[in-house]
Structure 1
């Protein structure tokens, strides 16, 4: 934010007139982690190299702009890392613009371009060990730290960290699921699915899903007469939902799964159910979203929560109907800690081209060290932290209340279509 207004960060191709931007970045302050300023002759050569390497396809250099104002630079260029073709990236932001998330957004834009390019799936960065900002930026973008080293640099030595971001596609070749649900019917498999949405905070009577199973798989539905799930604590929100586990404490206690706000108490004690829990490996779903401003669909496994801190969420797909358009839409992926103090929020909305009301695949590859998220098999995000306890699967369609209290009854039912859910053991 600048002056109370949201800034728009863009990256633009480095041009013939961008030598002054290099000159502004060539101060002792800006080059403190790079061995100091370059000479004017070296800057002219660098400017020419940026332009030349773009033409040869060896590098892509960009101006970072905020609301059209140049504030720094970022780019990526071809390297080999341990014999593997890779891109290397680096960046700078002028001092008066630092601390506002500009480099983070510019790096996110670069990563999206590299994914779209598709020619190399490994991105590396080598910030100096004494550069806390750049190292934190790598960590926050999902890079994994792979050690440090020292090399000669500008007449001295540079000790740097090695950060790697694996953007390779999801590879399930030769792997068999340990559980697979294709919703072939004739009814819902109650050994896997409980058709109630957090019933301990309300009741089974008000939280039971509306569903059907046909040739296309599962349909989770919000109808005209679907009641709000718990009006006393969540207003007019309507939900149709399946989950694969259930845990709660006794009536009157605050012990229960998914404590989405403070002060919740159990209203209807539920039997413990461990129907289909996962712990590391791959989870994927094939579903079709709903294009309507009142609707949202989601697949978000959450901690079984038999201990209060075991409540983190792996958000594999969260799609708001208001964020779909004729060309595509936004899909939320990442990690939400809820009440798990060991996790930090790392959630991002990814732009996806195409009709998201058709079936698409959404997946996570989950290890003890990291979580890699995919859409239609294509890498979209890495979170360099992990949830290290069992999670239960959650499938949802929501209808959000309008401010004026009306409902678009002509658009009902809102239907989430799901063709398949799978889990794979660690590979």
Structure 2
């Protein structure tokens, strides 16, 4: 496995020296101290034995081909449930470079793809701040602490759990289930303009149609850039479920995508379909074209300036798709919310993304879990605590030479349904 320059290579018979290199007082300070030579040899043999039996997966962490530590996961029981436990180390001269974070991300992806156990746990010592911080940043939930006898002494540890269970909507009833029955886009739910306060309704109006297959948002050959003096030749067709902005000349408005924005056209306030916690799900088909991108990204209604974070449920660039699948961006983006940190990544999804797929978020007071076709793909251990409106759009990005692929138009985002479920 690889993530940029960080690679995980299967643990091999010649890797005992890596255990010896990590067996220093400094490297084992949170584990009760170094092991004996015999214990290291037994550990090395156990890694190989359990990996061969399918009961564990152990890896060298490599950076640009150089071994810099180790990571793995193995079968355990956690509170009576089948789980995988993970642990890692990075040699001192390589610490502080994000290597453990990238290695753990690769392990999380592998465990999620296996699907045989939906819990990944870690038990770092309570006196090990970096490992505890890494668990928190990776989306693990703190489930208490405990003390065990360990290497002739006692080890007090924190219990961290990453829940990868699939999305379960059985028994839950949607408060809104939008299937775009038509014959027109329902403007009691959808405001068919792209942040028109920064431009105008005429310039940002959606090209759309509804019918038996759902909603289509289109960029045509005669679609003009929505705000050329602010956003160049970017073209967009968009619908959102709320609208809030200030008076003309003010800086009050949703999606402040660059500094210095001022309201250019007065807009009516619209509170159409706002959600605060629960499940939000969209079923859409992406566009495989290098100039196109589709997205579904609920954002804060922003009637208070800081309440502007984003839940990016799906962001799919046409140039990141191929015949076998593509990359889907998911996560939390602060935009201008100082209480949030960006936690966003691109997840590889197998299958034709120009077919319909379900993209969803389960949003609670403590964390946000992301799903594709019901399968868990990411947890963010932070949350938004204010209402959001839905932002649904297709973009056409300008080319450096100013040309457009007119033969490929219209770029059409197809949306079969959007629905929300109240929190449990």
Cα distance between partner residues in 2 of 1:361 and 1:105: 27
- Aligned: 1:212 with 2:203: no
Q: Which residue of 2 aligns with 1:53?
A: 50
Q: Which residue of 1 aligns with 2:386?
A: 389
- The CA deviation at 1:214 is 2.3
1:264 to 236, 261, 265: 261
- Aligned: 1:244 with 2:234: no
- Aligned: 1:171 with 2:171: no
Q: Which residue of 2 aligns with 1:95?
A: 92
The answer to whether the Cα contact below 8 Å between 1:222 and 1:415 also exists between their aligned partners in 2 is yes
Q: What does the per-residue CA deviation read over 1:286-313, in whole Å, with 9 as the maximum and x for residues that have no partner?
A: 0000111111000000000000000000
The answer to whether the Cα contact below 8 Å between 1:7 and 1:66 also exists between their aligned partners in 2 is no
Cα distance between partner residues in 2 of 1:279 and 1:405: 41
Q: Which residue of 2 aligns with 1:321?
A: 318
Q: Which residue of 1 aligns with 2:228?
A: 231
1:295 to 273, 292, 296: 292
- Aligned: 1:24 with 2:21: yes
Cα distance between partner residues in 1 of 2:287 and 2:95: 39
1:410 to 407, 410, 424: 407
- The CA deviation at 1:219 is 0.7
2:122 to 118, 122, 125: 125
Q: Which residue of 1 aligns with 2:281?
A: 284
Q: Which residue of 2 aligns with 1:184?
A: 181
- More off after superposition, 17-26 vs 193-202: 17-26
- Aligned: 1:373 with 2:367: no
2:39 to 35, 39, 42: 42
- The CA deviation at 1:7 is 5.3
- Aligned: 1:304 with 2:301: yes
DSSP 3-state at the match of 1:146: strand
Cα distance between partner residues in 2 of 1:29 and 1:414: 57
Q: Normalising by the residue count of structure 2, what TM-score does the alignment of the two structures yield?
A: 0.98
- Aligned: 1:107 with 2:104: yes
Cα distance between partner residues in 1 of 2:248 and 2:145: 54
Cα distance between partner residues in 1 of 2:316 and 2:258: 22
DSSP 3-state at the match of 2:322: coil
Cα distance between partner residues in 2 of 1:287 and 1:174: 24
Q: Which stretches of structure 1, 4 residues or more, deviate above 4 A after TM superposition? A: none
Cα distance between partner residues in 1 of 2:81 and 2:282: 32
Cα distance between partner residues in 1 of 2:423 and 2:158: 29
- The CA deviation at 1:75 is 0.7
- Aligned: 1:342 with 2:301: no
- The CA deviation at 1:55 is 1.8
Q: Normalising by the residue count of structure 1, what TM-score does the alignment of the two structures yield?
A: 0.97
Q: What does the per-residue CA deviation read over 1:202-235, in whole Å, with 9 as the maximum and x for residues that have no partner?
A: 0001000000112221110000110100011111
Q: Which residue of 2 aligns with 1:351?
A: 348
Q: What does the per-residue CA deviation read over 1:113-161, in whole Å, with 9 as the maximum and x for residues that have no partner?
A: 1111111101110111111111111011000111222222111121211
- Aligned: 1:86 with 2:83: yes
Q: Which residue of 2 aligns with 1:3?
A: none
State how many pairs are aligned. Answer: 422
Q: Which residue of 2 aligns with 1:333?
A: 330
Cα distance between partner residues in 2 of 1:371 and 1:81: 22
Cα distance between partner residues in 2 of 1:214 and 1:274: 25
Q: Which residue of 1 aligns with 2:69?
A: 72
DSSP 3-state at the match of 2:238: strand
Structure 1 runs not aligned, ≥5 long: 1-5
DSSP 3-state at the match of 1:43: helix
Aligned residues: CA RMSD: 1.0
DSSP 3-state at the match of 1:397: strand
- The CA deviation at 1:60 is 1.2
1:419 to 406, 416, 419: 416
Cα distance between partner residues in 2 of 1:32 and 1:406: 61
Cα distance between partner residues in 2 of 1:96 and 1:352: 35
